[in-house]
Chains A and B, each alone.
Chain A
Amino acid sequence: MFSDIRFACRQLIKNPGFTATSLITLALCIGANLVIFAVVDAILVRPLPFPRAGRLVTMYYVYPKLPSASPGASTTNYYERRAKIPALSSLAAIDENTSVIGESGSTSIERLGRVTSEFFSTLGVAPLLGRAFTDAEMTYQTDHVAILSYEYWRSAYGADPKVLGRSIRRDGVMCAIVGVLPPSFRFLSFQAPVYVPLSSEEAERNVGSRHSVGKVLIGRMADGSQLADVQAQIDALDIQIAPQFAEAKLVADAGTHTVVAPLQADHVAPVRPMLVLLQAAALFLLLIGCINLVNLLLVRATNRAKELAIRRTLGAGQRHIVSGVMAETMILAVVGAVLGLWVGAVGIRFLGILGVDQLPLGAEVAFNGRIAVTALLGAAVVGACVSVPIAWFNLRGGLALALKSESRGGTADVAALRLRRGFIVAQIALAFVLLTGAGLLGTSLRRAMAVSPGFRPDHVITGQFNLTWNGYRTLDTFHTFFDRLFERTRALPGVSAVGAATSVPLAGLTGGDVMTVPGYTPASGGEGLLVHDQIGVAGDYFEAMGIPLRSGRFLEPADAGLDHQVGLVDEAFALHYWPGGGAVGKQVYLGTDTGPDNKPFTIVGVVGTVKQAGLTEHKARGTLYFPFSREYLRKYVLVARTQLTPDSVANTLVKVVREADPDVTLSDLRSMEVRVSDSLSTRRSTALMAGIFAASALLLATIGIYGVMAYAVAQRTREFGVRIALGARELDVLRLVFVEGVRLAAVGLAAGMLLALLLTRYMSSLLYGVGSNDPLAFAGVAALIALVACLACLLPARRATRVDPVVALRAE
């Protein structure tokens, strides 16, 4: 064995061209796999960084027949289920929020985790300093306490060991610091510097708020319990308490039930198809690379057929031959893997550019020992697989044949060539699948980018701000602030319109509400409740965002003084309820109550529909816009249209907001064009990655075709010489080579098309505006591969025409 390795090393060093080509191919293919595997491992495979994380579950309502309703859990769920589910040893809730943190004049908007008492213990995390929250702290009167993250404790409090005596200013209220969390604590993808109690009042805990979803509920399964036990017990409880809810029938008609799911799997479910797809693509690439490697090795085996025959004559057994082959492929694979590790490590660093850290658990992606070990194990498998056809080739046929092959015009060559042709067909097929997949993703991206968002995203800057609780208790304070803010902003050079809204398009909606239109009878077939978006707006929001008015009028400052409430709806809303037109003047109730206590909105105008959830959302939910003053909403997005480039006014805007109220901070400043582009970032990265893989696959396949054709031509030099002597013209020879190449390509394409037809359907959830069997994509890829195959044949074909018959026929 040792002598095999030494001999293999000597052979590899003696053929630097072959060795380098093989190693580069392997390094790139293994590297590509590692990059994706690092993401797959961090997101899909590796357990969450909590003790016995597999025992953690999440649970939430779904409303299957109410596609417009978002799934979620409520504070009520938490109080109703707590200690009622024996299969859960503990239950907790978190509200992922933001808050204004810091002293007046130097505030910042920070993420804020509002959590129940057992939140940290459910996860299995104990505070580094101090304590967790208590049940008694879960009311608005007693919730002035906070727990800091380790990182925030270090950066904002200099890791003060006596921090527990100090306090932190949150939304203008001082909160006593009662604890510090251990380093790098993170709940799934949510990492907050400050945690506070998930305080609530009675009305938020009772049955009326059961479906006011928006919280995340987690539980730890009791020892001996399974997911199915939790599910069964929650289902039973749901049934038992269902009748208490006022709209029990509507809820039941919507098919409402609670989903219990493993915490991690549920969190990463949206990106699973994309990651699986990319990993599959990377594996395809590796397969293609391996085929090239096998083909290169077969050429060498052919050239060494005589040497092997001699070895066998001298008594080398099958075992010797196989171990000789294995030594060589294993050395290649392992060295390739080491280089691949380096490629992967570099690649992983570039993942940030593709927005991988924005994926669920994406922040966990890193190069680590697990990945290195996986790479080496994978390489061993690759080495073993690659050696199989080579060993077969070397052992094939009797010894007499091997020795004779030299004299009788290369039967060894014919067998090797046939094998290599088979591999090329497979390679073309795999490349076809990869290219089709990438093409479909690219087309989807193009289609998505071509979607009109319903507003004019150019020259619009947006920024988020929160109003503090204690500073803004009355409507007047809101008005004063907004008037001051808008006045100053409007005075800025270049600003043509300014407004604010509780949510802007593509920003991740704050949630919708059930609405009732008097006189409207729901269509039969389950349409009981319809959830629509509701958005509070201030100032000239529609002009600033560039949302067109279709009929009626925009909202005006004077609307706040009216004794009835007015609002706007978008076209989707208007068309749903009044397909014939005439929405203006009609009334809409929030919720299902149409009694005297619930004042309706009178519609004064209809505006264009905008893409709220995403450019590729299938159907608009319909939106009701109302003056911001209706509710004491505290989170706003400032929207300004400017003649200057949006980024150039960002800093000025921050200053203006700060001047309007030192406690308010403008953050997350992005132009709408950037928001539009960001909303497609996952789609773009997927398409880009798939594109890179497909291009590499095409390149490798081209090299593969070229290699086989060049070799075939070299083997047939004599034949071409004879043909030329007999009067074959250049064209006859060219045709001969091309026909061969085209035949290979055609068989490969046919196989690839079948394979793609079978496989692309699994990616349909990632596609937009294009079918998974899009004939155009298939035809385009087929044409591309055919073209590339012809190019790959070009050089060998020309070489064939250049064969000098005198030389070719003399060479014996």
Chain B
Amino acid sequence: MPQSLLKLDNVTKVFLTDEVETHALSGIHLEINKGEYVAIAGPSGCGKSTLLSILGLLDTPTEGTYLLNDRPVQGLTPAERARIRNRQIGFIFQSFNLIGDLSVYENVELPLTYRGMPASDRKARVEEALEKVGMAHRAKHVPSQLSGGQQQRVAVARALAGYPAVLLADEPTGNLDSKNGDAVMELLHSLHRAGSTILMVTHDTRFARHAQRTVHLFDGRVVEESVEEKA
């Protein structure tokens, strides 16, 4: 019996800028179970990133409900939302978003420090995460000394280090060449095999095939869901 992790019900997101309403999302129904690997695809501006922001508790829906672990997230205080982001969600961004002043090690450690974990535990987790992405030998470097692919691997390590319930990746390969992109995809794939729940935005159908299921968005609506044949 698959266990529901994220559940969106009739979610709508409207942006108001200069008296112009943008309907970024309209009536989205989406359910993601534990251990699933889901890709979100669609043309530019169709609302993929917006959807991910809402799922990641970075933004709130204009309408509709969002259940995380069967609990509604509406009405949570900012501190509670921060806590959930910190413990349940791991973010991977298109532009890596590592903090330039911190070393690789410190970047990965960052989410752990926010939950007040003792230094020795943090060290174990960081080393484990860096090991997983194959960046342990670069722990002391700063991001500007790394290639794009390496930076993204560190970003994945940072997302993993906290053992989140779900990894949210927004075009993780968008800033990478195909070789590095493949490597990162391979990494996500292996994480999934090891049990991680992953939600990845991509408009590259080549990568979408790694996922078990692809949700197609168009103009803020889900237009199609396709299920990949499991090999």
Stretch at the interface among B4-12, B77-85, B123-131: B77-85
Please indicate the chain B residues that have their CB under 8 angstroms from the CB of A806 in the complex.
53, 58-59
- A727 interface contact, C-beta 8 A: yes
Q: Please tell me the number of chain A residues within 8 Å of chain B, measured between CB atoms.
A: 20
Is B158's beta carbon under 8 Å from chain A?
Answer: yes
Interface string of B85-120 (1 = CB under 8 A from A): 111000101010111110000000011001100000
Contacts of B99 in A (CB 8 A): 719, 722-723
Does A812 belong to the interface (CB within 8 Å)?
Answer: yes
Residues A703-743 near B (CB distance < 8 A): 718-719, 721-730, 732
Q: Counting chain B CB atoms within 10 Å of each CB, which of A718, A729, A732, A810 scores highest?
A: A729
B56–A726 touching, CB < 8 Å: no
The docked-state distance in angstroms from the alpha carbon of A719 to that of B97 is: 8
Report Cα–Cα, A725/B159, bound state, in Å. 11
Q: Are A729 and B79 in contact (CB under 8 A)?
A: yes
Asked if B85 contacts A725 (CB within 8 A), the reply is: yes
Chain B residues with CB under 8 A of A408 = 144
Q: How large is the interface on B (under 10, 10 to 19, 20 to 34, 35 or more residues)?
A: 20 to 34
Most buried by A among B84, B110, B158: B110
Instruction: A726-B114, A806-B59, A809-B93 are known; give 7 further A-B pairs, CB within 8 A.
Output: A408-B144, A719-B99, A726-B91, A727-B85, A806-B53, A806-B58, A812-B95
Q: With A409-B100, A725-B58, A806-B53 in contact, do A730 and B111 touch (Cβ < 8 Å)?
A: no
The answer to whether A728 and B58 have CB atoms under 8 Å apart is no
Contacts of B98 in A (CB 8 A): 722
The digit string for B138-168, where 1 denotes a CB below 8 A from any CB of A, is 0000001000000000000010000000000
Q: Give chain A's interface secondary structure class.
A: helix
B86, A727: Cβ atoms under 8 Å?
A: yes
On chain B, the residues within 8 Å of A725 by CB distance are 56, 58, 85, 91, 97
Per-residue CB contact flags for chain B residues 35-74 toward chain A (1 = under 8 Å, else 0) read: 0000000000000010001001011000000000000000
A722 to B82, CA, bound (A): 12
Is A805 part of the contact surface with B, judged by Cβ < 8 Å?
yes
Jot down 6 A-B pairs with beta carbons below 8 A, ordered by A: A409-B100, A722-B97, A727-B82, A727-B85, A727-B87, A805-B58
Instruction: Choose among B87, B99, B110, B158 the residue with the greatest number of A CB atoms under 10 Å from its CB.
Output: B99
Q: How many A-B residue pairs have CB under 8 A?
A: 58
Q: How far is the CA of A723 from the CA of B158 in the complex (A)?
A: 12
Q: Give the residues in chain B near A723, CB-CB below 8 Å.
A: 99, 110, 114
A409 contact from B86, B91, B144, Cβ within 8 A: B144
Kindly state the separation between the CA atoms of A395 and B157 in the bound complex, as whole angstroms: 39
Cβ contact within 8 Å between B97 and A727 = no
> What A residues does B114 contact at CB under 8 A?
723, 726-729, 732
Chain B proximity of A228: nearest CB distance (Å)? 65
Q: Which residues of B contact A722 (CB under 8 A)?
A: 97-99
- Which residues of A (778-812) have their CB < 8 Å from a CB of B? 805-806, 809-810, 812
In contact, B93 and A727 (Cβ under 8 angstroms):
no
Evaluate contact between A727 and B83: CB separation under 8 angstroms: yes
**Chain A residues proximal to chain B, CB less than 8 Å:** 408-409, 718-719, 721-730, 732, 805-806, 809-810, 812
- Across the two chains, which residue of chain B brings its CB closest to A808? B97
> Nearest Cβ distance between residue B162 and chain A, in whole angstroms?
8
**Once the chains bind, are B97 and A718 in contact (CB under 8 Å)?**
yes
- Measured between alpha carbons, how far is A805 from B78 in the docked complex, in Å? 13
Which chain A residues lie closer than 8 Å to B85 at the CB level? Answer: 725-727
- A805–B83 Cα gap in the complex (Å)? 15
Contact B78 A730, beta carbon cutoff 8 Å? yes
Smallest CB gap from B99: residue in A: A719
Q: Are B115 and A809 in contact (CB under 8 A)?
A: no
In the complex, A8 Cα to B134 Cα: how many Å? 52
| Set A409, A719, A726, A810: member contacting B111, Cβ < 8 A | A726
Alpha-carbon distance A806/B86, docked complex (angstroms)? 16
Q: Pick from B49, B86, B158: contact of A810, CB below 8 A.
A: B49
List residues of chain A with CB within 8 A of the CB of B115.
727
Cβ contact within 8 Å between B93 and A728: no
* A409-B100, A719-B99, A806-B59 given; A726·B158 CB < 8 A: yes
Residues of A within 8 A of B158 (CB): 726
Please, how many angstroms separate the alpha-carbon atoms of A805 and B89 in the complex? 14
In the complex, chain B residues whose CB is within 8 Å of the CB of A409: 100, 144
For A408, A718, A730, A809, the residue with the greatest tally of chain B CB atoms inside 10 Å of its CB is: A809
Separation of A48 and B84 alpha carbons in the complex (Å): 80
Q: Which residues of A contact B56 (CB under 8 A)?
A: 725
Chain B, 3-32, CB within 8 A of any chain A CB: none
A409 to B58, CA, bound (A): 23
Instruction: Give Cα A286 to B5, complex, Å.
Output: 63
> How far is the CB of A470 from the nearest CB of chain B, in Å?
91
Given the complex of chains A and B, what is the CA–CA distance between A805 and B58 in angstroms?
Answer: 7
- A477 CB to nearest B CB, Å: 92
CB of B12, distance to nearest CB on chain A (Å): 16
Give every chain B residue within 8 A of A812 (Cβ-Cβ). 95
A805 to B56, CA, bound (A): 11
Q: Give Cα distance in the complex from A732 to B114, angstroms.
A: 8
Q: Measured between alpha carbons, how far is A730 from B79 in the docked complex, in Å?
A: 7
CB distance from A805 to the nearest CB of B (A): 5
Contact with A along B199-216 (1 / 0, CB 8 A): 000000000000000000
Which chain B residues lie closer than 8 Å to A730 at the CB level?
A: 78-79, 82
Q: Give the docked Cα–Cα distance between A623 and B85 (Å).
A: 84
- A718 and B48 CA atoms in complex are apart in Å by 20
Nearest CB of chain A from residue B17's CB, rounded to whole Å: 11
* CA A725 to CA B95, docked complex, whole Å: 14
Complex Cα distance, B49 from A3, in Å, reads 48
Contact residues in A for B110 (Cβ distance below 8 Å): 723, 726
Q: Which one of A727, A730, A805, A810 has the highest number of Cβ atoms from chain B below 10 Å of its Cβ? A: A727
- Please determine whether A724 and B82 come into contact, CB atoms closer than 8 angstroms: yes
CB distance from A207 to the nearest CB of B (A): 85
Cβ of B15 to closest chain A Cβ, rounded Å = 10
Question: CB-CB < 8 A to A810: which residues of B?
Answer: 49
- The complex places the Cα of A132 from the Cα of B78 at a distance, in Å, of 92
Give B31 Cβ to nearest chain A Cβ, in Å: 23
In the complex formed, the residue of B with least CB distance to A408 is: B144
Determine the chain B residues whose CB is within 8 A of the CB of A728 once the complex forms.
Answer: 82, 86, 114
Asked if residues A726 and B93 are in contact (CB atoms below 8 Å), the reply is: no
Asked if B82 and A809 sit within 8 Å, CB to CB, the answer is: no
Q: Name A729's closest neighbour in chain B (CB-CB).
A: B82
How far is the CB of B143 from the nearest CB of chain A, in Å?
Answer: 8
CB-CB under 8 A from B83, the residues of chain A are 727, 729
CB distance from A534 to the nearest CB of B (A): 77
**8 interchain residue pairs of minimum CB distance:** A727-B86, A727-B85, A726-B111, A729-B82, A722-B97, A727-B114, A806-B53, A805-B58
Q: A721 to B96, alpha carbons, bound, how many Å? A: 13
Give CA–CA (A726, B106) in the complex, Å.
Answer: 13
Q: Can you list, as one digit per residue, whether each of B167-182 has a CB less than 8 Å from chain A (1) or not (0)?
A: 0000000000000000
Question: Smallest CB-CB separation from A726: which chain B residue?
Answer: B111
Chain B residues with Cβ below 8 Å from A724 are 58, 82
A59 and B163 alpha carbons, distance in the complex (Å): 90
Chain B residues near A726 (CB, 8 Å)? 85-86, 91, 110-111, 114, 158
Q: In the bound complex, what is the Cα–Cα distance between A732 and B101 (angstroms)?
A: 17
Q: Nearest chain A CB to B201's CB is how many angstroms away?
A: 13
The complex places the Cα of A812 from the Cα of B175 at a distance, in Å, of 12
Q: Which residues of B contact A727 (CB under 8 A)?
A: 82-87, 111, 114-115
Q: CA A256 – CA B78 in complex, angstroms? A: 83
Tell me the minimal C-beta distance from B199 to chain A in angstroms.
Answer: 15
> Which residues of A are found within 8 Å of B53, using beta-carbon distances?
806
Q: Name which residue of chain B comes closest to A805, CB basis.
A: B58
- The distance in angstroms between the C-alpha atoms of A223 and B53, with both chains bound, is 92
